[in-house]
Copies of this chain bind each other. A is one copy, B any other.
Amino acid sequence: MTSVNSPADPAVKALFFDVFGTLVDWRTSIAREAEAILHPQGIRLDWAGFADAWRAEYQPGMEEVRSGRIPFSKLDVLHRHNLERFLPRLGVNGLSEETLHALTLAWHRLDAWPEVPTALARLKTQFIIAPASNGNISLMVDLARRNNFPWDAILGAEVARDFKPKPGVYLSACAALDLVPAQCMMVAAHSNDLQAAAACGLRTAHIARPDEHGTGTGERAPTVPVDYAAENLAALADRLAV
């Protein structure tokens, strides 16, 4: 645990959280869900590779919206579109509408990294907590109910009608709570997310998720200046003295 600043700044009133990768292990969960749906149909794949292939379409899909080439769409819609893009490359064709829909909703059934639910409950005692994710509201609600994330509100892309790292997502979350950016802290496992939040005036906390894309593939430490860098969410709660 390192910190650029001294102990918890009392001016911070709200914590905003990235979700995919930071709070939930999307890769293991999507691999499990895809296998559960497709294996009974006789499909044999590298299921972690399936998750990686889907995630590889994530940023290009959102970039269509960020650039203004297509109107805002919920992430569920982009996930479905992305799924149909990469499936043929894996040699998977002819899935039923029902199967495609079930796969798309696999993103609503992701499991949290182990320390997250308890750490969020601790952080809620001192801060307003909300996701500032690119996931849509129903997806965030389902992940919260599955994993006991005790959100005060669901903020993020669907409220802003744009995707991170566009400034409007961070700024709309602050505005929804009547806070200025300096009263808000973005918590994420991805330096580009924190860099964009910092550019909007938010405080930042990095969470190490070294195994996000498979063992040793995630960010062990931030590559940009941050206010806090913690090995996990419990360590951040320790550091913020809650």
Binding site for B on A (CB under 8 A): 76, 128, 136-138, 140-141, 144-145, 150-155, 158-159, 176-178
Q: From A176, which residue of chain B is reached at the shortest CB distance?
A: B137
Q: Which residues of B contact A141 (CB under 8 A)?
A: 128, 152-153, 177
> With the chains together, A158 CA to B173 CA distance in Å?
12
Q: Which residues of B contact A138 (CB under 8 A)?
A: 176-178
Also in contact, A137 and B177, with CB within 8 A (given A152-B145, A159-B159): yes
Beyond A137-B153, A145-B152, 5 additional pairs, beta carbon < 8 A: A128-B141, A140-B153, A141-B177, A151-B151, A153-B154
> With the chains together, A137 CA to B152 CA distance in Å?
10
Which of A128, A136, A176 has the most chain B CB atoms closer than 10 A to its own CB? A176
The contact sample of 26 A-B pairs, CB cut-off 8 A, is A76-B178, A128-B141, A128-B145, A136-B176, A137-B153, A137-B155, A137-B176, A138-B176, A138-B177, A138-B178, A140-B153, A141-B152, A141-B153, A141-B177, A144-B152, A145-B152, A150-B150, A151-B151, A151-B152, A151-B153, A152-B154, A153-B153, A153-B154, A154-B154, A158-B176, A159-B159
> With the chains together, A79 CA to B141 CA distance in Å?
30
Question: What is the CB-to-nearest-CB distance from A148 to chain B, in angstroms, rounded to a whole number?
Answer: 11
Q: Which residues of B contact A136 (CB under 8 A)?
A: 176
Q: Which residues of B contact A144 (CB under 8 A)?
A: 152
> With the chains together, A154 CA to B144 CA distance in Å?
13
Question: What is the CB-to-nearest-CB distance from A199 to chain B, in angstroms, rounded to a whole number?
Answer: 24
The list of the 8 closest CB pairs from A to B, nearest first, reads A153-B154, A137-B176, A138-B178, A141-B152, A138-B177, A141-B153, A137-B153, A128-B141
Q: Which residues of B contact A152 (CB under 8 A)?
A: 141, 144-145, 151, 154
> With the chains together, A137 CA to B137 CA distance in Å?
14
Which of A128, A140, A152, A159 has the most chain B CB atoms closer than 10 A to its own CB? A152
> With the chains together, A59 CA to B196 CA distance in Å?
40
Q: Which residues of B contact A137 (CB under 8 A)?
A: 153, 155, 176-177
Q: Which residues of B contact A150 (CB under 8 A)?
A: 150
> With the chains together, A107 CA to B176 CA distance in Å?
16
